[in-house]
Amino acid sequence: MELPLTSKSSILFALVLVVLSSPVFASEKPKLILQITIDQFRGDLPMRYYDRLGEGGLRYLLDQGIVYNNAHYQHANTETIVGHATLATGAQPSAHGMIGNIWFDRATGATIYNIEDPDYHLLTKGADINSDTEIDPTQKAATSDGRSPAAILTTTFSDELAAYTAGHAKIFGVSVKDRGAVSMAGHAGKAFWFSKAGNEFVTSNYYYDVYPEWVVDWNAQKLPEQYSGTSWELMHPIDTYLFGDRDDQEWETELSDYGRTFPHSFSTVDNPYFSTFLTISPVGDELTTSFAKAVVENEGLGKDDVTDYLGVSYSSTDYVGHFFGPSSLEAEDNILRLDRTLADLFDYVDDKVGLEHTLIVLSADHGAPEAPGYLASLGIPTGYVSPDKWDKEPAIARIKNKFGISGKLIEGYDHPYLYLTNEIISDPDLDLFALEAEIAKELLAFPAVSAAIPSSALEIGEYADNPVTRAVLNNYHPARSGNVYLVFKPGWFINDLDGLTAAVVHGSPWQYDTYVPIIFAGYGLRPQTISRRVNPVDVALTLAAVVGTNTPSGASGEVLVEVVDQ
C-alpha cells in the first residue's frame, strides 16, 4: 500500500535530519583544528607497542583515523624547528627559512637561535629559558630571552586561518619547547612554552603586554613543584615491556642524580636540574596537556561557528630519545604514558567541543636513529663521529696553498653547515665555486663522511641529482645556509650535546630521521590506511583545503585527498 504524500514527506524530512546530524555532516567546517606534533616520533613507533595501548589515545587515532604510514620529510636537516616550521607552513626550509635550530648570521657575526628576537622579552622576569640548567645546546646559542616568529619567512596555516576569519579565529600554540609553540602559533596566534628556570608556562610581549588572568592562575597552582621528591616509575610490571630486560644499557646517558635505571628520581625543587628532569620524562607532556586544556577552557576554543586552532607540541619523546635512545625501556614507558596523556586530551576536547566537530592531525617534526650501542649489539655497522679529533690542519694548508689564501679560511661549523669567513666569500679574486668544491673533496676523506655538498653548486644547478642532494637543496636558503653541507654515513652522527654525551642525535637526510607518522582523525572521517609516499608539507595544504583558507604563501605540497573527499 502506498503511503500518503504527507507521510512520505515526514519520513523524508526525518531521514534528512538523521543524515545532517551524522558526524560527517555535523558542521560545514570543524569548530577546532587540533594539531599534535610529537617531537622525535619516528614513523614506526605508533604501531610498535600497539598491543599495549589503551583506549582513546594512539589506538583511537590508529583505528579511527586516516593513517599515512609512508610519510617522509624531503629536507636534509631533520631538526626540531625545521620540522615544526615545515608542518606549520607547508613549505620547504628553502622557503620558510628555518634551515636549522641555529645558523650563523654573517651580518652580526654571531650564531642565531631560530626564534630569538631581542625586540621582544619574556613577560616573566628571571624565567629566561636560556639558563645553566637547560640541557638544550641550541637554546644556549641565544643571547637574549626575546622570542617571536619573525624569522619564519612564509605564512603558516594558522596565519591563513586568521586572515580568512578576519582575525576572529582563536589560535594558540603550546609546548615545553619555545620553538615548538611559536612555530605552530605562527605570526598571528599566541604561543606559550615551559620555562625550566621558572617552573611555569611563559610567553613574550610579542603576544601579550600582560599575562591573561587564567595563565597567572594556572602557574599559581605550581603543578611542577608537586613532583618534588618523587620519581618516574614504570607504569606496568617490568616483565611486560619489550625492553624490560634492558633497563641498564651502557650507551645511555648518566644524568646526575637522574641515573639511567628506573626509578628516575626528580630530586627536589631546589635542585637546579629539577625541572629539566621533569621534561626528560612523561611529566613534561602531562604538564603541556594540563596547560592546553586550560587554553581550551579559558579561551573558549570551539564554542562558535568560527574554526579555532590549537597546536600542541609534545617534547618528552625527544628528550628521552636523546639520552636513552628510541629502543630503551625509558622510551617504551614514555610512549605508553604519552598514549594515556593523548587519551586524556581527546576526552577533554570531546567533552568541551566534540570530536565530531574537531579535526585532529598528528605528526612529528622528525624521526630518530637508533643508538649505535643498540645497533652494534645486533651486528649492524654504526658509530659516533668526532670531528673535533680530526686532524684538519693538513687539509686546510693544502687548500690555502692551492688558492693562495693567507688569512682565516673557516668561520665555523654550525651543524650541518661549514661557514667560510666573510673575507673569503667577498674576495672577487677567489673562485668560490672551485674553493667550495675543493673543501668538499677534502671533507670526504674524513671518517664517516658520506657527502659534502657545496652551496655554490646548488645555486647554479651543478650537482649530482640524487635523494640526498635534493634534500640538501630543499634545506638551502642563501642568507642563512653555510658554504658546505656535511652529511655523515647512515648510522653515524655526532653525539655531543653541549658537553653531554647523548645516546642519539637526529638531523640527517637518512630514512630513519625523515620517517614520521601523519594521522588525521575526528570530524567524522572514515578510517583507512594509506601507504603511498606522502610528505609533511602536505599537512598545511590539507588543513587549508578542509577549512577553505588561502594556501600558505610558500607551500609546496599536495592536498591529501582522503581527508577532503569524504
The percent of residues above 90 in pLDDT, for the chain, comes to 88
pTM (two decimals): 0.93
The residue extents of the domains of the chain are 28-377+509-564, 386-447+449-488
Query: For residue 107, what is its C-alpha cell?
Result: 651580518
- Give the per-residue pLDDT at 183: 98
Q: Give the whole-angstrom CA distance, residue 443 versus residue 361.
A: 41
Over range 226-252, report the average pLDDT.
97
SS (H, E, C) 355-401: HHHEEEEEEECCCCCCCHHHHHHCCCCCEECCHHHCCCHHHHHHHHH
- Give the per-residue pLDDT at 66: 98
Instruction: Inform me whether the pLDDT recorded for 116 exceeds 60.
Output: yes
Pairing relationship of beta strands 102-105 and 110-113 according to DSSP bridges: antiparallel
- Give the per-residue pLDDT at 138: 61
**What mean pLDDT, rounded, does the chain reach?**
93
Residues in the chain: 566
Q: For residue range 159-217, what is the model confidence (pLDDT) as tens digits?
A: 999 999 999 999 999 999 999 999 999 999 999 999 999 999 999 999 999 999 999 99
Q: For residue range 493-507, what is the model confidence (pLDDT) as tens digits?
A: 998 766 678 999 999
Over range 467-491, report the average pLDDT.
97
Q: Do the beta carbons of residue 29 and residue 169 sit within 8 Å?
A: no
Over range 260-274, report the average pLDDT.
96
- Give the per-residue pLDDT at 316: 98
Over range 447-462, report the average pLDDT.
96
- Give the per-residue pLDDT at 140: 64
Q: For residue range 123-173, what is the model confidence (pLDDT) as tens digits?
A: 997 666 544 445 565 666 788 899 999 999 999 999 999 999 999 999 999
- Give the per-residue pLDDT at 310: 99
Which of 19-28, 257-266, 434-443 is the least confident region?
A: 19-28
The percent of residues above 70 in pLDDT, for the chain, comes to 92
Tell me the one-letter amino acid at 495. Answer: N
Q: Specify the CATH superfamily of domain 28-377+509-564.
A: Alkaline Phosphatase, subunit A (3.40.720.10)
Tell me the one-letter amino acid at 507. Answer: G
Instruction: Inform me whether the pLDDT recorded for 10 exceeds 50.
Output: no
Q: Do the beta carbons of residue 138 and residue 157 sit within 8 Å?
A: no
- Give the per-residue pLDDT at 286: 98
In degrees and rounded to multiples of 5, residue 422 shows phi and psi of -60, -35
CATH fold for domain 386-447+449-488 = Gyrase A; domain 2 (3.30.1360)
Q: For residue range 337-358, what is the model confidence (pLDDT) as tens digits?
A: 999 999 999 999 999 999 999 9
